[in-house]
Amino acid sequence: MSAASDRRTAEFLAIADQFRLGHLVTESAHPLTRDLSGAAEAGVDRALELLFAVDADVVEGFRRFTASGLALEMGNAAAEALSRGGRLFFTGCGATGRLSIQLDSIWRKYWRRMDGDAAYAADMADRTFSVMAGGDFALIKSVEGFEDYASFGKKQITDLGVGPGDVVFAITEGGETSFVIGTAWAGLEAGAKVYFVYNNPDDLLRSRVARSREVLDDDRIRNVNLTTGPMAIRGSTRMQATSSELIAMVTVLETALCLLLRSRPEGHPLTPERVGPHTLAALEQAHAELKAPSFVCSLARLATLEEAAYRCGAKATYHADGLGIDVLTDTTERSPTFCTPPFRKFDDPEGAESWVFLFTPPDETPAAWTRLLGRAPRTVQWNADDVRSMVDVAVADRQCAVVNRIGGAELMRFRIGQDGLQARQVNPGDVALAIATASELTDEVGRSFYADALNRCAAAGARAGLLLVSPDPEARCTPETPPGAVCVRLPVPRTDLMLDGVTRVAAKMALNALSTSIMVRLGRVMGNTMIWVVPSNLKLIDRATRYVADLAGMEYAEACADVHEAIEYVAPRMEAGQTYPPVVGLVTLRALQGLTFERAEEQLLAGHGPGR
């Protein structure tokens, strides 16, 4: 162990009690998927069946949320704030940070396309704000360690001017994230109304995590507990926890919208009291469709298509528009969860080729980002003095370097517009996937975008697939779809919901199951433990340490020291965006077989590591 890794181990262990989270429900193993990797070996359809079975927890959690009356209460608070000139802030990090951006986008895009009073619509469109740890840059690439600092959360939301009359929805899957807790305190201090939204039992959080207890016990903050149980993949809160938060928060926004439109000519087809029950009925129908054998079999064909590309060293490229932010969220989250190469900047010759990428219709990337977000991008623009005032001296240089890498110019290097196609050449063996809604395929411009993308890739020797999100059982691929394309309809219910929250959560569940089943099949999960998790923040260092201790039969402190040493070993490649071996696998193999890191890496590359 080097002096640097020895120091970082000691620093972590000194504060480990704040981040040892194995007791939380969201970190435990779901009984239904305990042998997910074994089931996946028998067939991808079996893995999909188990993943959708666990999504029943989301339906049951939403049933409790609806019965509690919280949707109506929160919707009323949001509508009242908006009608008086206030604003709504959604805050989060990681999966909930991407959720905050999605909620902001859903709200803004609704008002941008609404007919009627243009001035009123434009004003309402600009009343929501997302506060993601690391800013919009973190939507496409995880930002190292940002969520560990409450001070960062306080500054990001304060920079946006939160104040009296506003409402802050501080969303954290675990209920313990320092960044999100910082936004809650900042909102409270500024005079805003604060809701704290989370997915673990109150008694567990109160007894084990001091920063959570302080929030939960403050009567000025309204607690919204959405506990759904363990995740389908142990600790992977991008799945059921965030799905439950998505449907709950879109329902809150739908209720607010219903209240705002009640006295306007535009109107709303539902009363505020009916929004929750109507959404619940539609969610039950959507989940029944997802777990139906016919859809599982169809989605398995898409999963097999993408898996085959990765097995032969090829890549996947997604094309989406209306559901672009949903697709980007899922594809981005594969990197920290399964240690796949992150999205690569168009002009980065050193970075590894991304396994997956997303392209959207606009010709130029700046316009593509604005279209995706529903507003101009907002990135963190802090100077060194700002950063140093918020962190300890020991980590100041490292955090200054992180902030320098997440500005607006850096975001534009991820070319998700058509101007990025040249930097990602399609080769035989690759796969091109379109994620489209039925309305997009009936629109001439939308149909042309998807058809051109799939046919261009097919002409280059790639396989093509289409996931068509539609309530119409008769919906089919368009005639322009290339011959041999795998076309799958994601059935969604018809509803009276203006924000279409059930469609968004159904698409999320389908994409989560698709990507997760592929990664399980590729050996990146053992049982239902993500053994390729990237330990890029304190919570994930704890998670990696716990997994190593379990797999190798080590004491926590010893496993922690080995994890930090492995992080140091892979750090140069991680920072350069290159491929690198999984920390958990490296440490476990070295411990069990007495190998060097170099030899353990060779074993992993040869397919002899944990999970194989």
Cβ atoms of 160 and 187 within 8 Å: the answer is no
pLDDT(612) > 50: no
- What ranges in 343-443 are assigned the alpha helix state H? 365-373, 384-388, 393-404, 408-412, 438-442
What's this model's pTM, rounded to 2 decimal places? Answer: 0.95
Mean of the per-residue pLDDT values of the chain? 94
Would you give the DSSP letter of residue 380?
A: -
Which DSSP category does 521 fall into?
H
Determine the average pLDDT of the residues in 53-68.
Answer: 98
What is the distance between the alpha carbons of residues 344 and 324, in angstroms, rounded to a whole number? 17
Task: Tell me how many helices (H) and strands (E) the chain has.
Answer: 26, 10
Helix (H) or strand (E) holding 37: helix 36-42
Q: Which of 37-41, 438-442, 452-456 has the lowest mean pLDDT?
A: 438-442
Residue 276, C-beta contacts closer than 8 angstroms, at least 6 positions apart: 65, 66, 71, 72, 251, 255
Quote the CA–CA distance of 113 and 131 in Å, as a whole number: 24
Question: What is the distance between the alpha carbons of residues 557 and 96, in angstroms, rounded to a whole number?
Answer: 30
DSSP string over 71-114: HHHHHHHHHHHHHTT--EEEEESTHHHHHHHHHHHHHHHHHHH-
Quickly name the fold that domain 41-47+292-373+414-521 has. Rossmann fold (3.40.50)
Q: Of residues 99 and 534, which shows the higher confidence score? A: 99
144 or 510: which carries more pLDDT confidence?
510
CA angle 443/446/452 to nearest 5° reads 130
Write the DSSP assignment of 194-220 as a string of letters. EEEEESS-HHHHHHH-HHHHHHHT-TT
Q: Which residues of 493-512 are buried (b: 16+ CB within 10 A; e: fewer)?
A: bebebbbbbbbbbbbbbbbb
In this structure, which amino acid lies at residue 298? S
Q: Tell me the pLDDT band of 574, cut-offs 50, 70 and 90.
A: confident
State whether residue 347 is helix, strand or coil: coil
Same topology, domains 41-47+292-373+414-521 and 56-283? Answer is: yes
DSSP state of 355: S
Return d(Cα 394, Cα 397) in angstroms, integer. Answer: 8
The stretch 49-76 carries a mean pLDDT of: 98
Task: State yes or no: pLDDT of 609 exceeds 50.
Answer: no
Backbone angles phi, psi at 469, to 5 degrees: -90, 110
Cα dist. 570→34, 141, 404, 549, 579 in Å? Answer: 29, 18, 21, 20, 9
472: left (phi over 0), alpha (psi -120 to 50) or beta: beta
Residue 95 backbone dihedrals phi, psi, to 5 degrees: -60, -40
Nearest to 232 by CA among 444, 429, 512, 602: 512
Q: Which whole number is the average pLDDT over 575-583?
A: 86
Helix (H) or strand (E) holding 11: helix 3-15
Tokens of 545: 């340490």
Residue 142 has a pLDDT of: 87
- Domain limits of the chain? 3-29+529-605, 41-47+292-373+414-521, 56-283
Q: Coil, strand or helix: which one is 443? A: coil
> Helix, strand, coil proportions of the chain in percent (round to 5)?
55, 10, 35
* pLDDT at site 346: 96
Give alpha helix (H) positions in 227-320. 240-261, 272-291, 293-311
Instruction: Let me know if domain 56-283 sits in CATH 3.40.50.10490.
Output: yes
pLDDT in tens, 371-417: 999 999 999 999 999 999 999 998 899 899 999 999 999 999 999 99
pLDDT at 479 (0 to 100): 63
Q: Lowest-confidence range among 137-141, 426-430, 607-611?
A: 607-611
Residue 1: which pLDDT band, with cuts at 50, 70 and 90? low
Element (H, E) at 179: helix 178-189
Least confident stretch, 67-76, 270-279, 291-300, 475-484: 475-484
Distance (Å, whole) CA 128 – CA 314? 40
Average pLDDT on 148-153 reads 96
Residue type, 313: G
Give the integer Cα–Cα distance in Å for 256 and 553: 52
β-strands 193-198, 316-320: how paired?
unpaired
Which pLDDT belongs to residue 16? 80
Mean pLDDT of 128-132: 98
**Using an 8 Å Cβ cutoff, are 309 and 431 in contact?**
yes
How are strands ordered across the β-sheet holding 193-198?
A: 128-132, 88-92, 167-172, 193-198, 221-225
How confident is residue 611, by pLDDT bands cut at 50, 70 and 90?
very low
Q: Looking at 6-15, 88-97, 225-234, 514-523, which range is the least confident one?
A: 6-15
Q: Enumerate residues 6+ apart whose C-beta is below 8 A from 25.
A: 199, 200, 201, 204, 227, 229, 230
Residue 306 has pLDDT above 60, yes or no: yes
